[in-house]
Structure 1
Amino acid sequence: MTDLKVNKPEPFLPLKDVTIYNRGEDIKSIIKVLEAGNPVLITEFYNNGSVLLKGLQEHLNKKLPNKSFKEQRAYRAEYHKLSNLILLEIENHQILVKKAPAIGWFEKLYPETSDFLLTLPQVQGLNSAWQWYTNGITIPVLRNKIHPYYGTYFPTRFEHLELFDNWLKRYSGPKKSAIDVGVGSGILALQMIKHGFQKVFATDTNPNAIIGLTEMMGDTKLSRKIELDFGSLFGKWKNKTELIVFNPPWLAETRDLNNLDEAIYYNDTLFSDFFEAAKEMLLPDGKLVLIFSNLAQISGVAKSNPIEQEIAEGGRFQLEKCFKKNVKKDLKKQSVTHSIVKVKK
């Protein structure tokens, strides 16, 4: 796995033509610079960046509607575009303003480059990721904290993990092997090992997930129980298994994706490709477990649930059981429901 190239923000060299922002500057005039597509460099104090971002949010709140799900996405797109023109300078792997956080990712991810620029949102993302990585995150269904690597998806709600854990407690089938498609930060794989599976074969299209889990497991017993492959769907794994687990993205894609987005948004062919491949990889009495949410349907961004559509029309699998748990109310006051869907051939 050492030959994988980590996904990270692309550093760039200091610019000659850049507008300086410090606390004394007029925020409205700085926002006009951003809207014209020109970069702005934060100076003096790290918190100046937060002040400018707050001003930008207030400006966009007045300018753009932000109520429906689609309006929120439009708002976020504009905020993303403008905020990523706000820059910070890094020198000797340290942010070159006062009272800035120490972020270990600079040295870890950029060993060959000590002086460069990154956008403020990128730096904020690296800072948050460093805190999660160093301090760890408590997951209710696991004994130990996870330490997610930079750029690796991890859940912020746990209802679907609790549903899966409850299903694993009741599972009475063989536990020789399982496959975790899209391993992410490794939670489902770790749950299966906790519940007695001898071997979990896992894949992910995000190299950071593979690099991070490889580092986390090191040369422990866990590294011999969970085998990783950088690849889509079933990757290099060819042996049929008694259990396939897939926690797919819950929203249909509407734009070009980066690797972290691929954990959240699915493309047109993901589910058809998955079910076709899963049919070949599952043993005759094996189980296929999918974890999904109706968020897309009740938010109005999708008319159908791709898993329900496959069961109704695909002819490859039949529904054995569906476990559901209501989570919260969305914008339309409907319950978001997380589901564990168990199907068999």
Structure 2
Amino acid sequence: MIIDLNVNKPEPIVVSGKQVELFNRATDIKLTIKVLEAGNHILITAFYSDGLLLLKKLQMHLKRKLPNKSFSEQRAYRSAYHKLSNLILIEIVDHKLTVKKSPSIGWLEKLYPEISDFLLSFPQVQGLNSAWQWYQNGILIPVLRNKLHPYYGTYFPTRFDHLILFDNWLKRYEGAKKSAIDVGIGSGVLSFQMIKHGFQKVFGTDTNPNAIVGLSEFMANTKLSRKIELNFGHLFGNLEKQTELIVFNPPWLPISHDQDRNDEAIYYNENLFPDFFEGAKKRLLPEGKLVVIFSNLAQITHVAKNHPIEKELAEGGRFQLEACLKKSVKVASEKTKREQHWRSSEEVELWVLTN
């Protein structure tokens, strides 16, 4: 297995020569937000909760300034919040946060063995803390027997409708189960499902080194390590073999010009689907099946006119449609802060294509 990869992690922040203001609970918050809006850094100095307080006040400030109703307005709000909140810093010394009553985050030592003292932004530290809790405690996934322990920086599902749809399809699958390819393996859920349903070998690819390193570590010397082979690379990596099943759970939203371009687990570019279908055609056995797990989210939120799978079927000339299974998505929790009126019409889709 490939484990000698440099994982993605937050880059330590260097502020030499730049103005850094100190913040604690007694500091004037309005003046602090003005400092952030001027592009200067703020350092949290007393308690971890001071950082949480400042982030909360920043959110309130931005919500007063920016509308936050439609899908595109939410994107604009998140972009502004991302920019300003990442100017809020926290210091790490000897792989520990220096502020009082802060969480213990194992990633600080695991991901940064070569450096013990550095600065990170407060949201980055929040992300590392959440990821450490998930990694340590594990996450229950309804379609899996065992907990998932996702590695830092690796996408894992927080909603399960599409996984249940895939699991139900696997129960009825009657084709050969010698091998399968899982394109964009992520935290490994689809591969684990296929192994559970009797596939002898799954070849998993991912362009994210964290997914490859994390799964290598998670499977270690277990039986899974003999059944799942990992390949680092875009789409099919260097896999040339033909297989009876190819599974792809791509991002469900097209990237926009102002989007954070490194979030490839959530947003797709215009070349992703054409490149995928071209590669899949070469690697699918004559009687094989291509399963693409998708959603109508881009259509119902009006961020895309074309459905990439429908477009391939209409124009690609490579595959035939065998089935398209759909499942309504559970309505979001009433506790959710965002306006999500479109959720009531959201459906996950499982497309089965053949040669």
**Which TM-score applies when normalising by structure 2?**
0.95
- The corresponding residue for 2:254 is 252
How far off its partner does 1:31 sit? 0.1
1:209-245 deviation line (CA, Å, top 9, x unaligned) = 0000000000111101000010011111111000000
State the shift of 1:12 in Å.
3.0
CA drift of 1:2 comes to: 3.0
CA contact (8 A) 2:294 2:349 kept: yes
Amino acid in the other structure paired with 1:7: N
Match of 2:346 in 1: 336
For residue 336 of structure 1, what is the amino acid of its counterpart?
E
Q: Deviations over 1:13-65 (max 9, x none)?
A: 56463100000011110000000000000011000001000100110010001
Whether 1:12 aligns to 2:22 is: no
Q: Which residue of 2 aligns with 1:55?
A: 57
Aligned residues: 344
Give the aligned partner of residue 321 of structure 2.
319
In 2, are the aligned partners of 1:12 and 1:116 still within 8 Å (CA)? yes
In structure 1, the partner of 2:307 is: 305
Aligned to 2:225: 223
Does 2:169 align with 1:159?
Answer: no
Contact 2:151 2:210 in 1 (8 A): yes
**Where do 5+ consecutive residues of structure 1 fail to align?**
none
2:275 to 265, 273, 276: 273
| 1:126-180 Cα distance to aligned partner (Å, 9 max, x none) | 0000000000000000000010000000011000000000000000100000000
Alignment of 1:113-128 (within 5 A): 113-128=115-130
What code does the residue aligned with 1:42 have?
Answer: I
How many Å separate the matches in 1 of 2:304 and 2:104?
Answer: 42
Q: Distance in 1 between matches of 2:119 and 2:86?
A: 12
Aligned residues of 2:249 and 2:292 also touching (Cα < 8 A): yes
Displacement of 1:280: 0.7
CA distance in 1, matches of 2:79, 2:318: 39
**Does 1:294 pair with 2:296?**
yes
Corresponding residue SS for 1:263: coil
| Residue 170 (str. 1) matches residue 180 (str. 2) | no
Q: SS state of the match for residue 211, structure 2? A: helix
- How big is the shift at 1:258? 5.1
Which one-letter code corresponds to 2:321 in the other structure? L
RMSD (Å) for aligned C-alpha atoms: 1.2
2:79 to 77, 80, 94: 77
Partner of 1:283: 285
CA distance in 2, matches of 1:179, 1:333: 31
* C-alpha distance in structure 2 between counterparts of 1:140 and 1:117, whole Å: 38
- Structure 2: how far apart are the matches of 1:26 and 1:341? 55
**8 Å contact 2:329–2:344 — kept in the other structure?**
no
Where does residue 239 of structure 2 map in the other structure?
237
8 Å Cα contact 1:6/1:207 also seen in 2:
yes
Aligned to 1:193: 195
Tell me if the contact between 2:329 and 2:343 (Cα under 8 Å) persists in the aligned partners: no
Return the alpha-carbon distance in structure 2 between the equivalents of residues 147 and 10 of structure 1: 23
Instruction: Verify the 8 A CA contact 2:7 2:210 in the aligned structure 1.
Output: yes
TM-score, normalising length: structure 1: 0.97
The verdict on how the C-alpha distance between 1:332 and 1:161 changes in structure 2, with shifts beyond 3 A counting, is: closer
Amino acid at match of 1:160: H
**Alpha-carbon separation, structure 2, partners of 1:19 and 1:185:** 39
Q: Does 1:43 pair with 2:45?
A: yes
Shift of 1:194: 0.3
Percentage of identical aligned residues: 69
